[in-house]
Every structure is written in C-alpha cells, then in structure tokens.
Amino acid sequence: MLLQLALPRSLRTRQWGRFVFRPAVRAASTTPQRLDLLAVDKKWKNRWRCDPTAQLAKKHGKQKAYVLSMFPYPSGTLHMGHVRVYTISDVLARFKHMKGYDVLHPMGWDAFGLPAENAAIERGIDPAQWTMQNIANMKEQLRAIGAHFDWDRELMTCSPSFYKHTQRLFLMLHKRDLAYQAKALVNYDPVDKTVLANEQVDANGCSWRSGAKVEKVELKQWFFRITAFKEALLKDLDSLTDGWPERVLSMQRHWLGKSSGAHIRFLVSAPDGNYNIQVFTTRPDTLHGVQYLALSLTHPLVVRLANSNPDLKSFLDSASSLPEDTKSGYRLPDVLAVNPLSSLETNSSLQSSIPVFVAPYVLGEYGEGAVMGVPGHDSRDFAFWNENSGSQPISFVVKSPSSTEQNSAESLSDGPQPFTKKGVLADTCGSYSGMSSDEGGMKIVADLKNKGNFADNAENWRLRDWLVSRQRYWGTPIPIIHCGSCGPVPVPDDQLPVELPVVEGAGLKGKQGNPLESAEEWLHTSCPSCGGPAQRDTDTMDTFVDSSWYFMRFLDPSNEANPFSPSQVHPVDVYIGGIEHAILHLLYARFIYKFLATSELFPKELSGPSMVAEPFLKLLSQGMVHGKTYSDPSTGRFLKPSELDLSKSDAPLIKGTQTAPTVSFEKMSKSKYNGVDPTSCIDTYGSDAVRAHILFSAPVSEVLEWDESKIVGMERWFNRLWRVISDSRTSLGNFSSLNEETVKSLNDITLPDLTKISDDEASILLIAHDTITSVSHCLDEMPYGLNTVISNLTKFTNALASSSLPTSASTPTSQTVLYITLSSLLRLLAPITPALASEFWEHLHNNILKSSNTTSPSTAVPSIFSSPWPTLLLSESEVQSLRARGGKTVAVQINGKLRFSTVIPSPPTTETTSDKKGPSEVEKAWILTHLLETEEGKLWMKERNDWEKRRRVIVVGGGKVVNVVF
C-alpha cells in the first residue's frame, strides 16, 4: 500500500473502500480562469466580516501567545508605515494561531493628544468627535489590509473606562511617593499663555503656533520618580539580549546613562569670598592634568557673579543662541581654583592656580554642572582649551602602557592630540607615577578623601524623573484635588474617573491657555478630606502615561476590580513597532510594569525576587517606508506627479523638457509629492499583493523603498500558483483519502514509501521540506528576515510550476506527494496572503472533498486557518538519501577553467528532457538556480565573479557541465 493515513483503522478501511484508481492518463493542462485578485480579496473579507470566527477561531485553554503592534494615534488615515507594521504583526499572529496557540492580537487607539485639541482650537471641532470619526476611518482601513485583530478587546485611551485606570495608576504611584510635584523650567508661550512641549518650539526658540518668543519659566509640575527604578531598568536589559535588537538595547542603556567616577572638590577664590566647587569626573586618574575648571551657564556661582558683572551677563544672554557644540567660553575675572592634589604632595609640575570659565558645553542638568578641564585627555576639553587658553601648552599625565604606542602628543606631526584612553600615570604624577589609570584613580580619590574630604566615589545617571504634567485639555485629568488647608489630596477611588468636562469644540475655538482652568463648574469641588472648598488639578497627563500600560488592559479589558489583571498578567511575546519609540515609550512601559510588579495587584508567581519583570519579551522594530521621489536635476525642485510622464515606468520624463528627472527614495512627505495612499493601493492590487510586496521589498528592520511598479512581480507569482492549483485540482479530482476531519489534521498524513517515488517527486518533496524548515524558522526565531520567506515561497512555487507533477499526478503515490506539497505551500502562505491562500485552499479541496464525499456533496471546506502549520516532512536520514538519489552532479567551469563540481537536486522531468538537443530552458534555469545556492556557487559565481555581469552561460552534456563566461 503506497498511501497510508494515520487514521483509526475503522476509518481507514472506509477510506480505502472509496479509493478509485484512475488510469494514468496525463490530465491536459487547461488554461484556468483568470485570477481576479480583487474579487478574491472582496469575497474573503466579506465572509470574515460576517463571521469573524470563520477565519481564526479561538483556541481556548491552549498555550497563549501575545502578539502586539504599537497602537496608532488616530490621525484619520493610515500611512504606509502603518501598513507595514500591521502586516508584520498580522503575519506573526496568524502563524502562531496555525501553530496551535491561543493568540491574543488586539488593537486600540492612542487617542489623547494635541492634534485633536488643535482641530478644536482652529476649527471648532469637538475633540472627542474628531477622534471617534478618525478611529472609524482607520478601523475600516485596517480591515482593508486584511489584518485580523481581536476587536472585542478594542480600547481607546480617551474613553473614561480606560482613563479611570490611568488615574488609578497615578494614585498608586502617588501613594508610594513615586508621583510628586516639583518646580521645573518649562517652555511658556506668553501670547497663547500656554506651556509648550519641546517639539512645539521651533529652531529659533519661537512658538510653532503664535510665533512668540518662548520663555523658560518655573512652574510646579507633576513628575514620576522613574529614577527609583534605574538600577532594574538597566540591569534587566541583559535579560532581553536574545529578544531585542542590540541597537535598541544600547539606546536604552545610553538614555539611562550610568557612569561611575568621583566627585572632586576644588577650593575656589572669588572676589566675594571662597567657595568649594564640586565636579563629577569619570577620570580621577587625570587630576594631575587639570588646567581649568568650567561651569555651566546655570551654575549657582555663575548666576551670582552675573549680578555684579555685566560682561558675564551679556555672555550668558548670547550663549543660549550658540550652536550645541560650541567651544566658546568666558573666563571669570579674579576667580581661581586650587588643585586639591596640592594638599597631598608638593609637585612642581602641578599647576598651582587654575582659571575658571563659564562654558555652554557644560550641561547644567548633568552631574554637578561643573567640569575639571583636562585638555590632554579629553577631546572636548582639548578643543575648548585650544580656543580659550591662548596657546598655553597642554599637559599629558597618562600614557600608553605599551612602549610602542606613544603619547599622541609626541607621535603626531600635525600637532598634539589628546590621549583619551586609559593607561599608566606618567612620571609627572609624583607618588602615583607608574600606576594604572584604574589603580591610580582609586588611590587618588581615597587619599583626597582621607586628607580633607576632597573627594568621594560617585556615580551619575543621565536619566531624569519623568515630567508628566501637560497644561492641556485633551488628556487624562490628574486625579488630585488641591485644598487650602489639606494641600494636594488624592481623589478617592469611588470618585474615579475624574472625567474631562465637556467643552464643545466651539468652546475651544481660538482659546488660549489651558481650557480646564476656566471650566468653572468642573474646577470647583470639595476637599475629599475636610469637605471644605477646593480646586481640581488642571493638568492632564503626558500621553506616554496612557501608552505605558495599555498593553496590560488588553489582557482582561472588562476587569474593573483589578485593571492590572492579577490572574491574567502575561508579558507581550512579540512587540512590533517603529524605531522612533526605541527610547521613551519602551522605557516608560518598562518602568510602569516594574512598578506594578512591586504592587499587591501583581500575581506572586510573576513578581517574586528572582523574576525579571519585563513587559516585552521580543521586540521587532521595523524600518521606515520611503517613497519614490522625483526632482528636477537642474534645480533640485521636487516634481509633482502631474509634471511627469510616467507612461514608461523604467524611463520617466519631465513633461515639457522631456528630460529625465532625478529619482530617489525619501521619507514620505507632502512637500516631496512622494506619499502613497495605502487605500488606493489596496483598491488597485488587493491587500494580499500589497502585503506580500511590503514584506518582500526589504528586511523588517531596514528602510523600505516603496516602488509600486514592482508589485507586478507578486501578481505574476500568484498567477503561477493559481495555474498550479488549477492543474492539480484536476489531477487530484479522485484523491479520495481526505475528509473534513483529516483536512484539519493534515500533518498526520504519512508519506508514501520513499523508495518507490520518482525523481521528480523526490525533488519536489525535498523542496517542500526545505521550505517548511526555513519559513518556520524565520517566523519563529528571525522575523527580521520576512523578505526571505517570500522568496522561499516563490521558489517553491516555481519548482512546482516547472514540474509535471501537478498535471500528471494520477497514482496514489504521486497524488499524495502532490497533495502534501501543495497543501504545505498553501499553509505556509496563509499568514502572508490570507484571502488568496483561503481561495486556493477552497478551490483545491472543493473538488477533492466533493468527489470523496458521496453522502453529503455539499461538504464545507474547513478554513485553511483551522489546519495546522505544516511540520517537517522528512527525517534527516530521509533527506540525505533523497538528496543522494535525486542529486545531479554538475561540473562548473568559469571562463573555461574547471572550478568545482557539486551535487544539486535533479531537475524535474519536463517534456523536453529526452530531447537530444539538450536541456530545456526550464531545466537550465533549475540548474543555475540551484548552483547559485550551493556554497561553491556562491563563492565562484557571486563573490569572486559578479553573476549579474555574466556574458554567456553554456550548459552542455545534458546539464552535466556548465560553463560561465564573465
């Protein structure tokens, strides 16, 4: 028996009973109906819309998988970047589903924020209505992409049922003293009387809206104490090494910015007295080389001296408009510092009194706002010294430990350079000479500490607490009530949510400042603590607070008692989003998750001391989508589509001059006329072609150059597959070993006896096996290579298309091989092109199930998504034996010289194989494709020679010898 199904014996016999053997007549390859991609798209979307479970029925109780893409801001229309990210997450979610997981793939809306409020201010539109309308539009567009989301869990951050819990989160933080109020410098627009975010201040320091010069004013603001979690935020990044891109990890590390070093205190004499100035340094070993001190513009000493020094005052005023990397400085007259080392040793080479500068390169908010300047060993100090010291010599106090690598000062002919590496302390360092940088630095700090508390070990972080206050209407109100006698009082739990007062759009039109301050009725309330008259806090929260926990809300969206779902907490398995969120959003979400893990709401098994609480186990950050951009080569002006003749897609012309435009790919923007509207694209090509094209055009993390003219490649592929399906449908018409149930457990079908299959069948099986391996591996482990999934699937399709199997299969053996390979291919394809794969699946099975089911001819074909993901077909030893058998040895000559010979899978037999004239074009293509995939082929035909530049390829000896001329 050639065909065996792993079915209960009773069923099996029944099956066999129905087996009809047809004579081995080659089914004629009839031209199938034209494949109408748009009709297929429409048919399946309609079907899924009426019955969402018909597509991806939930698999309760199974192992869970949480696939999430960063939720969008409801701006009104999806752009190509959205299509890219949601296609990727949809593919991964569908894949996990077919692998048998209970998949959570939800979608929501990051729905608070400025654009809605601006629409209200500028056009009198109600922000809530504006937002809802946009959400409705974008939801339609998401459906059009063919993405399947758990819409029953949909959330929007602007709905009171969501922000009630954002407010709870705020109060939980407040209770633990992790939300606090403090004065902070903010951007203030004096015309609009409003606080601006940094992004709303233009390069000239003016308000983007009123154009007024923005002022820095000190206002009381709310902060979250994210710095309390800095150690865990840094250390736990190590646990993400396998799941997150290295680039994002290092951006996070840099943002946290931990550095270890020392505080060193310098005695400073100024006209009005003596001071101690503390600096932070990571290189105490360079203390002998200090040649100046530099203070930030906001250092207390500088601020005080400026009161009596008009020159200094005017320097400070002009400094704020200097470029960021400026090396200008102002030397403070009559101010001198003493190197604390002079208290330890009398060292003649130590500079006895040190000038003190004010320098914009010293940051006010970092360390102590003061720097010990070491020009010999720090590049910035070096540049500063050269500009401000008036050619004074530079002292070098650390040298390279190896004699071969000399101090840069001595070795370079184009003048001295700073030696910035660690090394050994030089002879000028008195008793520290000869010590390594680390040892010397430690000893210097210890000695200075003992001598007179001149130094301490210290560490510094770049991370600052998170300023969450916004003086804006369209955000989550801060749930605090200010009482004259009790101070700030939390709103009691049973009074949540504090809802935004309804300010109709017209009420906001042309308004200045924060509308909540004038919402009289809402503003005045009574103190929850003493009952006296009190006022609500009028700030709303940064929208990053909403997005710092939304992913937890999806897990149990109707849980009112505990929104941070104790029984449900499950980190996101794969999180997909743009690299622009690599720092802030991810950091804030990690912080809030860690905070919640320390609360009693979190399940103990996930918050124990040995647990690393991280919300996103794997992170895929996708690159941007760039659009094809045309410009006039003579002027550089961007050209509108109406100015171009694009009738020949490979040779565009500028209308009028009939000259060729410059073509490039750039970030899509209105001013470059290079935007692409996803909806019109889907209307033209169907969502499956758009999805496949997006995935194929670039690896996930790289920039995708959107070139619509290449989408035709996908259409050709689909048509080729359509033809294979149509041919096979006829050949498999009497393949009666299937019923509805077996279609749902396809992986249980046993292969025929491999010693009895033909070479053609063997090579098709091998390709199917290899494709299953590589596609599964990519989707499981390496989704960055989704583009290779598409190329693997097209190759697999081509192999089937050039084989005679689809048209000729007629014995149970060949039918089984054909059916297994074909059903594998369709299942591998299903996550990527769900409608198309469903159509092909139905078309194929329609015929088979109808012919095999005599009792009920109207059998419904089970959805392709109810079938399992294909498992490997062959064991390793079977692969080996098939390769050896089906293999074909080919000798390859490069420019007439024999370079290598290798074994490739045998080409499928085609009609012309027996032709004396030699191999057919199809066979030649087969041989070359496989040669190029071998190690030797890659070396000789791609690396050492450029395959694209080959001049001639001759295949002789029935394909046993290939000669390539470059």
Can you give the binding site for ligand ANZ, defined by CB under 6 A? 259, 280-283, 286, 296, 362-363, 366-367, 369, 371-372, 374, 377-378, 460
134 vs 407, beta carbon nearer ligand ANZ = 407
HEC secondary structure over 70-125: CCCCCCCCCCHHHHHHHHHHHHHHHHHHHCCCEEECCCEECCCCHHHHHHHHHHCC
422 vs 720, beta carbon nearer ligand ANZ = 422
- Using CB atoms within 10 A of its CB, is residue 326 exposed (0-12), middle (13-18) or buried (19+)? middle
**Smallest distance, Zn ion to C-beta of residue 588, A:** 32
283 interface partner picked from ligand ANZ, Zn ion, none, CB below 5 to 8 A per type: ligand ANZ
Q: Pick from 481, 533, 463: which is nearest to 174 by CA? A: 481
**Smallest distance, ligand ANZ to C-beta of residue 298, A:** 10
289 vs 627, beta carbon nearer ligand ANZ = 289
**Smallest distance, ligand ANZ to C-beta of residue 371, A:** 5
Can you tell me whether residue 586 is helix, strand or coil? helix
CA distance 480 to 525: 11
370 vs 527, beta carbon nearer Zn ion = 527
Q: Which stretch binds Zn ion (CB under 5 A): 3-11, 439-447, 532-540, 868-876?
A: 532-540
530 interface partner picked from Zn ion, ligand ANZ, none, CB below 5 to 8 A per type: Zn ion
Q: Pick from 254, 284, 239, 240: which is nearest to 266 by CA? A: 284
- Contact between 483 and Zn ion (CB under 5 A)? yes
56 interface partner picked from Zn ion, ligand ANZ, none, CB below 5 to 8 A per type: none
Q: Which stretch binds Zn ion (CB under 5 A): 227-235, 483-491, 855-863, 888-896?
A: 483-491
**Smallest distance, ligand ANZ to C-beta of residue 272, A:** 24
**Smallest distance, Zn ion to C-beta of residue 487, A:** 8
Gyration radius from the chain CA atoms: 35
**Smallest distance, ligand ANZ to C-beta of residue 362, A:** 4
CA distance 678 to 144: 9
370 vs 597, beta carbon nearer ligand ANZ = 370
268 vs 941, beta carbon nearer ligand ANZ = 268
Q: Which stretch binds Zn ion (CB under 5 A): 322-330, 402-410, 476-484, 517-525?
A: 476-484
- The torsion of the CA quartet 908, 913, 914, 917, rounded to 10 degrees, works out to -160
CA distance 506 to 488: 32
**Smallest distance, ligand ANZ to C-beta of residue 197, A:** 24
572 vs 587, beta carbon nearer ligand ANZ = 587
**Smallest distance, ligand ANZ to C-beta of residue 426, A:** 13
529 interface partner picked from Zn ion, ligand ANZ, none, CB below 5 to 8 A per type: Zn ion
280 interface partner picked from Zn ion, ligand ANZ, none, CB below 5 to 8 A per type: ligand ANZ
Q: Pick from 884, 870, 764: which is nearest to 814 by CA? A: 764
The helices-and-strands tally (H runs, E runs) of the chain is 31, 36
- Contact between 530 and Zn ion (CB under 5 A)? yes
The single residue listed with the structure tokens 């997450």 is 89
529 vs 963, beta carbon nearer Zn ion = 529
248 vs 534, beta carbon nearer Zn ion = 534
Contact status, residue 949 vs residue 966, Cβ threshold 8 Å: yes
Please pick, from the candidates 137, 347, 420, 529, the single residue that binds Zn ion as defined by CB under 5 A.
Answer: 529
280 vs 575, beta carbon nearer ligand ANZ = 280
460 interface partner picked from ligand ANZ, Zn ion, none, CB below 5 to 8 A per type: ligand ANZ
**Smallest distance, ligand ANZ to C-beta of residue 456, A:** 15
CA distance 849 to 826: 17
Please pick, from the candidates 486, 606, 703, 751, the single residue that binds Zn ion as defined by CB under 5 A.
Answer: 486
CB atoms within 10 A of CB 266: 21
Q: Which stretch binds Zn ion (CB under 5 A): 42-50, 56-64, 341-349, 478-486?
A: 478-486
486 interface partner picked from ligand ANZ, Zn ion, none, CB below 5 to 8 A per type: Zn ion
57 vs 530, beta carbon nearer Zn ion = 530
Per-residue tokens: 280: 């932070």
Q: Pick from 112, 227, 127, 960: which is nearest to 542 by CA? A: 112
For residue 604, what is the enclosing H or E element? Answer: helix 604-607
DSSP of 563-598, one letter per residue?
A: TT-TTT---EEEEEEEGGGTTHHHHHHHHHHHHHHT
**Smallest distance, ligand ANZ to C-beta of residue 320, A:** 16
Fill in the per-residue mask, 563 to 592: x = in contact with Zn ion (CB under 5 A), - = not in contact: ------------------------------
286 interface partner picked from Zn ion, ligand ANZ, none, CB below 5 to 8 A per type: ligand ANZ
Q: Pick from 286, 260, 267: which is nearest to 454 by CA? A: 267
Per-residue tokens: 641: 């589509």
Per-residue tokens: 830: 């299903």
Please pick, from the candidates 527, 596, 639, 766, the single residue that binds Zn ion as defined by CB under 5 A.
Answer: 527
User: What contacts 16, CB < 8 A, 6 or more positions away?
Assistant: none
394 vs 822, beta carbon nearer ligand ANZ = 394
Secondary structure percentages of the chain, helix, strand, coil, to 5: 45, 20, 40
DSSP of 489-533, one letter per residue?
A: EEPPGGG---PPP---HHHHTT--S-GGGG-HHHHEEE-TTT-SE
116 interface partner picked from Zn ion, ligand ANZ, none, CB below 5 to 8 A per type: none
Contact status, residue 87 vs residue 688, Cβ threshold 8 Å: no
463 interface partner picked from ligand ANZ, Zn ion, none, CB below 5 to 8 A per type: none
527 interface partner picked from Zn ion, ligand ANZ, none, CB below 5 to 8 A per type: Zn ion
**Smallest distance, Zn ion to C-beta of residue 533, A:** 9
448 vs 527, beta carbon nearer Zn ion = 527
**Smallest distance, ligand ANZ to C-beta of residue 465, A:** 18
Q: Phi-psi category of 663—alpha, beta or left, where left has phi over 0 and alpha has psi -120 to 50?
A: beta
User: What contacts 17, CB < 8 A, 6 or more positions away?
Assistant: none
78 vs 293, beta carbon nearer ligand ANZ = 293
**Smallest distance, Zn ion to C-beta of residue 483, A:** 3
CB atoms within 10 A of CB 836: 27
374 vs 789, beta carbon nearer ligand ANZ = 374
CA distance 425 to 396: 9
**Smallest distance, ligand ANZ to C-beta of residue 460, A:** 5
Q: Pick from 818, 958, 952, 839: which is nearest to 891 by CA? A: 958
Q: Pick from 236, 225, 172, 231: which is nearest to 599 by CA? A: 172
281 interface partner picked from Zn ion, ligand ANZ, none, CB below 5 to 8 A per type: ligand ANZ
Q: Pick from 678, 714, 849, 718: which is nearest to 40 by CA? A: 718
259 vs 562, beta carbon nearer ligand ANZ = 259
Q: Which stretch binds Zn ion (CB under 5 A): 152-160, 198-206, 357-365, 484-492?
A: 484-492
- Contact between 492 and Zn ion (CB under 5 A)? no
Contact status, residue 441 vs residue 450, Cβ threshold 8 Å: no
Q: Pick from 263, 281, 430: which is nearest to 342 by CA? A: 430
Can you tell me whether residue 633 is helix, strand or coil? coil
Q: Which stretch binds Zn ion (CB under 5 A): 150-158, 528-536, 613-621, 874-882?
A: 528-536
322 vs 530, beta carbon nearer Zn ion = 530
User: What contacts 446, CB < 8 A, 6 or more positions away?
Assistant: none
- Residue numbers at the binding site for Zn ion (CB under 5 A): 483, 485-486, 527, 529-530, 532
